Amino acid sequence: MYNSCVAVTTAQPNAYDNKADENKKNVSSSQNSLSTTSNATSKRTVIKIGGMHCAGCVNAIQGYVSDLPGVSKVEVNLANEKAALEYDQSKVKLDTIEKAIEEVGYKVVYEKLVLKIGGISDSSDAQRIEHNLVHVEGIKTLSANYGNSQVNVEYNPALLSLADIRKKIGNLGYEVLSETIGSSAQDIEARKLKYLFFVGIAFTLPVILFSYPEVFRFIPFAGTNISAYLAFAFASIVQFVTGSRFYIGAFRIAKMKSANMDTLVVLGTTTAYVFSVFNTFPTPVWHNIYYDAAAVVITFILLGKYMELKTNGKTGSIIKKMLELQPKTAKIKKETGEEVEIPIELIQPGDIAVVRPGEKIPVDSTVILGSSTVDESMVTGESMPVSKKGDNVIGGTVNKEGMILVNAAKVGSDSFLSQVVKLVEEAMGRKPSIQRLVDKVAGYFAYAVMIAAFSVFLAWYFVLAAGATAMAIIPAVAILVVACLCALGLATPT
């Protein structure tokens, strides 16, 4: 009797345990399905952003975009002007993120490309190209015209390269005969800065000449009221025409209740300009006129931004030049013995390529017939050619002596050059911990500079030069202008 009771009491908990296990499995499976759905809608991408020039810009973009619903991660790198995004496609679209970046005052950069295509015979070919490529990640717009056999592409250079586009078109059975690359956003911005700099120089020089009558006595109207009014006119053009980009940037960042380099430049130069205007009319007080300081600061900051942009452009062009080391086409030997010239993107592992003296080896290969010496200086830096017979050769190196047949081993993203380019891009895009710290500090740096400038003004006005407004303004303006966030942001390892 005792034993039977034990059997009954132990059987019931087992039944409940089974139900509990089933409930746990159901909950677990539902959680797994939710996790799978979340992973399916989550997307990572990279976009290129133009118009950034300091760590304050980085913080502005990261802060504004990260507040969008569905955006889980935003990491902006000032050095390569790229932003790595992670977001939920079911809650926010990429177009919405791009519009948010534009609202902050920056722009998402897309490159334009015109391709001349061989093999387009009618509208069906054009539609086929559009249908297969318009949804490729990285392509914003694409239109094919069978009338002139051209394809116009607007694409994201952070996700796609010209070689990728050529390969995708080649896979459809068409041939890219030529390509015309439109001016990049970086080149357009550099031309604007160069133009503004020369305009600034043209109007800043008269301001300097009129501002020092005791030095430039030979200038007509030197030291007269007319020269002061002319200095005011020329300085106004520099302040509000040449320097308009700083006012626009400062206004946009102020709407977000933040500050950056534009804020400091506007505060410093406007203070000097307004103080000078106050002492110009109705009768000029020459020792309190500082039009030259405001004009020179704006003009040379523009020069610095132009030089910085060109330097960044050269860094980015290294990657392009590395990719250009590979030849555009290769001669492939068919089983029939016939040689066919095809684009480099269409080479497959196992293809036999013919490389004659003076030609570049198309892809990473193995020499299967013949012997020669190969110039590998692009890889090793060694100027002396290396003897090759049955050895591995690297795509882009130059065959110096005899004709050789090579068996393609690594093509596309697996090639040596592609791997080197990938490492360079990763090194440029990776943000070390010290850079993250600098970005965080820079968010408060502009406020600290403004507080320091105001404190210096008060110290000079009430203590060091009691009541002398001009003596107090100059050191305060100097602090605002010299304390540039760019130096803080770019000096750290990137």
Query: pLDDT tier at 427 (50, 70, 90 boundaries)?
Result: low
**In the chain, where are the structural domains located?**
42-108, 111-182, 187-315+433-491, 329-414
The pLDDT value recorded for residue 323 is 64
pLDDT mean over 51-78: 82
Q: Does domain 329-414 have CATH number 2.130.10.10?
A: no
pLDDT mean over 116-123: 85
Q: Options 1.10.10.10, 3.30.70.100, 3.40.640.10, 1.10.3720.10; which CATH number does 42-108 get? A: 3.30.70.100
pLDDT in tens, 351-409: 999 999 989 999 999 999 999 999 988 888 888 899 998 999 998 899 998 899 999 99
pLDDT mean over 336-354: 86
Class level of CATH domain 111-182: alpha beta
- ∠ CA 162-164-168, nearest 5°, is 120
What is the rounded distance in angstroms from the CA atom of residue 297 to the CA atom of residue 268?
Answer: 9
- Choose between 351 and 42: higher pLDDT: 351
pLDDT in tens, 268-316: 889 889 989 998 998 898 888 889 989 998 998 898 888 877 776 666 6
pLDDT in tens, 159-205: 787 778 888 888 888 888 888 876 666 778 888 999 999 999 999 99
Mean pLDDT score of the chain: 80
The pLDDT value recorded for residue 198 is 95
Residue 16 has pLDDT above 50, yes or no: no
Tokens of 185: 């956003």
What is the rounded distance in angstroms from the CA atom of residue 59 to the CA atom of residue 81?
Answer: 13
Residue 348 has pLDDT above 70, yes or no: yes
Same fold for the pair 42-108 and 111-182: yes
